Amino acid sequence: MSKRDYYEVLGVSKGADDKELKKAYRRVAMKFHPDRNPDDKEAENKFKEANEAYEVLSDPQKKAAYDQFGHAGVDGQAGGAGAGGFGGFSDIFGDVFGDIFGGAAGGGRRGPQRGSDLRYDLDLDLEDAVRGTTVKIKVPTLANCGTCHGSGAKAGSQPQTCGTCGGAGQVRMQQGFFSVQQTCPNCRGRGSVISDPCGSCHGRGRVEETKTLSVKVPPGVDTGDRIRLAGEGEAGPDGGPAGDLYVQVMVREHELFQRDGKNLYCEVPISFVTAAIGGEMEVPTLEGKVKLKIPAESQTGKLFRLRGKGVTPVRGGAPGDLLCRVVVETPVNLSAKQKELLEEFSNTLSEKKNSPRQTGWFEGVKNFFGDMKL
């Protein structure tokens, strides 16, 4: 099945900058997050697709390869929720031409290779993302075998030089006028063979294990941010260095606040009496309650800015603001007496004086129908 265009997956143009990419990724990821779509396989696939697209487009090198060569330029670079390789585009050609021409694309015996990078999706509450926290995570990975220390050979023995290739990792074959060099079929390019394999890892040099790691989350992180833990990926084959672990941050939806960059938004319901004559009320912030003064004649949708009550960006800078949008709430479950009082109050109102927006709206409707040609 062919992959969709990464820009199409996130709903952005090719010229989208980092901020637009992050915002688009956050929107798609929140929409299809498994927590919001339990047992929905299609949503899960779209969530993974968005992760893969953002992982490539947010990395300048991977993005450049993708823009030039499409999916072929980044195949194997976008990790999933578990293990995933992050090799370069040249790997695609190196494996092919290295086998045929031997050395033309970096052929010859390969030394210990670096292990694969891993990715871990970390869900955070908004409070933890804003203030920072330390969390423990469990990551399934491949680690060096503790018995043979990654060699793959039984204790007391060592891998032996391959008798087929003489340790070169490649063999040369004559085909007519051409001399073709290819990976040694006996040692598969390692240059050595294990005659007496380790009983713990069966000669592989690596074993599956789940390790527990402590991740320090800096204050101000947001959905789409990544935390790199160097050397915490998979151990490399043949005792090679380990890859890295990338912790991908996903901030859960909050009951009261919505986040947009460094600013927070919340809706504050007020009674129509408070909206009409003004008043003072307590509103929540991530640091506790504060007093908000509501001026008389406030309308639904009016924004009040509480400076510095937003988020301090993870990369530094001044904290954002908390913007409170008031919503005038119509009273419900009125008693007969309350309805009577409201009717008496209504009879004292003048449409032009007390309801200018309503009067203007009706005038607009009247003009609209008056201008229509029937």
Q: pLDDT tens, 334-371?
A: 999 999 998 998 888 776 666 666 666 667 767 766 66
Residue pair 233/115 in contact (Cβ under 8 Å)? The answer is yes
pLDDT of 41 > 90? The answer is no
**Predicted pLDDT at 77:** 52
Mean pLDDT of 141-156: 84
Residue pair 207/200 in contact (Cβ under 8 Å)? The answer is yes
Mean pLDDT of 329-337: 91
pLDDT of 199 > 50? The answer is yes
pLDDT tier for residue 186 given thresholds of 50, 70 and 90: confident
**Predicted pLDDT at 102:** 40
**Predicted pLDDT at 180:** 74
> Where is mean pLDDT largest: 12-26, 163-177, 295-309?
295-309
pLDDT of 222 > 90? The answer is yes
Whole-number Å distance between alpha carbons of 260 and 303 = 15
* DSSP helix/strand/coil, 96: helix
Q: Please give the residue that has the higher pLDDT: either 55 or 156.
A: 55
Cα torsion 17, 18, 23, 27: sign: positive
**Predicted pLDDT at 89:** 33
* DSSP helix/strand/coil, 69: helix
Q: Please give the residue that has the higher pLDDT: either 312 or 15.
A: 312
**Predicted pLDDT at 267:** 94
Rg (the chain; Cα; Å): 32
pLDDT digits (tens, 9 = 90+) for 255-307: 999 999 999 999 999 998 999 899 999 999 998 999 999 999 899 999 999 99
Q: Please give the residue that has the higher pLDDT: either 179 or 191.
A: 191
Q: For the structural domain made of 258-368, what CATH number should be given?
A: 2.60.260.20
- Residue 158 is encoded by which pair of tokens? 């060592």
Residue pair 276/296 in contact (Cβ under 8 Å)? The answer is yes
- Residue 63 is encoded by which pair of tokens? 């993005």
Whole-number Å distance between alpha carbons of 110 and 86 = 18
Output phi, psi for 93, to 5 deg. Answer: -85, -30
Mean pLDDT of 88-96: 34
Q: Please give the residue that has the higher pLDDT: either 280 or 80.
A: 280
Whole-number Å distance between alpha carbons of 371 and 3 = 53
Residue pair 58/18 in contact (Cβ under 8 Å)? The answer is yes
pLDDT tier for residue 175 given thresholds of 50, 70 and 90: low
DSSP 303-343: EEEETT-S---TT------EEEEEEEEPP-S--HHHHHHHH
Residue pair 121/250 in contact (Cβ under 8 Å)? The answer is yes
Task: Describe the crossing of helices 18-32 and 41-57 by its angle, rounded to 10 degrees.
Answer: 170
Q: For the structural domain made of 114-153+204-252, what CATH number should be given?
A: 2.60.260.20
pLDDT of 98 > 50? The answer is no
Contacts of residue 302, defined as CB under 8 A and 6 or more positions apart, other chains included, come to: 325, 326
pLDDT of 9 > 50? The answer is yes
pLDDT tier for residue 176 given thresholds of 50, 70 and 90: low
Whole-number Å distance between alpha carbons of 234 and 150 = 12
**Predicted pLDDT at 296:** 92
Mean pLDDT of 148-162: 83
**Predicted pLDDT at 365:** 67
**Predicted pLDDT at 68:** 79
pLDDT of 50 > 80? The answer is yes
Q: Please give the residue that has the higher pLDDT: either 173 or 144.
A: 144
pLDDT of 179 > 70? The answer is no
Burial class (CB in 10 A: 0-12, 13-18, 19+), 51: buried
pLDDT digits (tens, 9 = 90+) for 59-77: 888 888 888 778 777 765 5
pLDDT digits (tens, 9 = 90+) for 205-215: 888 889 999 99
Whole-number Å distance between alpha carbons of 365 and 191 = 86
pLDDT tier for residue 241 given thresholds of 50, 70 and 90: confident
Domain spans of the chain? 114-153+204-252, 258-368
**Predicted pLDDT at 230:** 93
**Predicted pLDDT at 95:** 37
Task: Establish how many alpha carbons lie within 13 A of residue 88's alpha carbon, considering only the half-sphere containing its beta carbon.
Answer: 6
Question: Which residue, 68, 65, 75, 79, is CA-closest to 95?
Answer: 75
Mean pLDDT of 22-39: 85
